[in-house]
Amino acid sequence: MTINREAPAVRRLGSDVTIDGLSVAYGDFHALRDVSLHVPAGTTTALVGESGSGKSTLALAAGRILPAGARITAGSVRVGEVELTALDGKDLREARGRTAAYLAQDASAALNPVIRVGRQIAEVHRVRNGASRAEADLLARQALADVGIPDPDRVARLYPHALSGGMRQRVIIAMALAFHPRLLIADEPTTALDVTVQAEILGLVSRLQQEYGLTVVWITHDMSVVAETADHVAVLYGGRLVEHTDVLSLFEGARHPYTQALLTCFQSGRNAGPKEPFTTISGSPPVGVVPDGCPFYTRCPHAEDRCRTDLPEPRQLAEDHVAACHRLEVVR
């Protein structure tokens, strides 16, 4: 069997992603509340915020892979012409991997430790497309070559534990892109990698995005990753979208106090001397409670009485800039 190591032809498969009024609950607790977001086709939007802000919940809901006990209580997710929140049964299974694919944070947990990696990729093609064993094996090796793995014939015969963290991440990228989805949801896939390997994975995803025309939603805590990969940034806090704008406007003119605080912490980490303390945001995010007013009220240095009781509505500050804060005035 011969593997084609040349880059595939450009496939413009990405689609606009529209999230409208999405709310998600775990039992009685609403972890995500009334989030609306638009991701233009072929672009990357980064979701940022502290742990518990709702980033992963938004990603899992968008991909319709929420865990047991979680449910979408309101809103919709549309990828191109496909309304994901309206699908179930066979239609939903078909949409997973073809319309939207999910790239997990922990590659070790995403792979079966007792099955060779080539067989794990081949199984996707056998189950979903009815490919023969020989066809599926060839497609698996081609997928490994496409994500830059040298000697894919040898690597396909290895078990996950025999691969480095970066190689395992490449394997799950190959699996996620097996059916050339329109939307790729990347849930902090470089968190456990060292900076050199992280740069390689970021470059790989960027290359594949260009080749396949992917629309990407990238979840991260790392603002340097945001600066390198994103076209737009959505900032979440307490299950709500507090700011959304293009990446340049975010770094040069963030308007929400929470976004400003995140950027201050980021700059502190980059610029502080060896004995200087890092800047932090005092307090902690709301967990297990739904505040009546602004979720950032207890930590905000500019908080007013109405912030405690009145929920700020998103304001259009510019053509491509939305923020939810009582202190902001609408730019007309």
Nearest to 116 by CA among 143, 137, 146: 137
CA distance 259 to 223: 11
Q: Report the chain's mean pLDDT, rounded to a whole number.
A: 89
DSSP string, 142-163: HHHHHTT-SSHHHHHTS-GGGS
pLDDT tops 70 at residue 32: yes
How wide is the angle at C-alpha 86 spanned by C-alphas 81 and 90, nearest 5°? 95
pLDDT tops 70 at residue 47: yes
List, in order, residues 6 or more apart from 277 with CB less than 8 Å away. none
pLDDT tops 80 at residue 288: no
Using the 8-state DSSP alphabet, how is residue 319 labeled?
T
> 233: which strand partners?
46, 245
Q: What backbone torsions phi and psi does residue 216 show, to the nearest 5 degrees?
A: -125, 135
Q: What backbone torsions phi and psi does residue 189 show, to the nearest 5 degrees?
A: -70, -10
pLDDT digits (tens, 9 = 90+) for 232-265: 999 999 999 999 999 999 999 999 999 999 999 9
Quote the crossing angle between the two packed helices 165-176 and 133-146, to the nearest 10°: 120
pTM over 0.85: yes
Range 196-212 average pLDDT: 91
CA distance 279 to 277: 7
Q: Match 């509505």 to its residue by tokens.
A: 313
The token duo for 98 is 């073809």
Identify the pLDDT of residue 172: 93
Q: Are 240 and 324 in contact (CB under 8 A)?
A: yes
pLDDT digits (tens, 9 = 90+) for 58-68: 999 999 999 99
Nearest to 56 by CA among 99, 94, 26, 81: 26
Q: Are 242 and 236 in contact (CB under 8 A)?
A: yes
pLDDT tops 80 at residue 270: no
Amino acid at residue number 137: D
The token duo for 292 is 């009546």
Percent of the chain with pLDDT over 70: 93
pLDDT digits (tens, 9 = 90+) for 49-107: 998 899 999 999 999 999 999 999 999 999 999 999 999 999 999 898 899 999 988 88
Provide the 10 A C-beta neighbour count for residue 165. Answer: 17
pLDDT tops 50 at residue 10: no
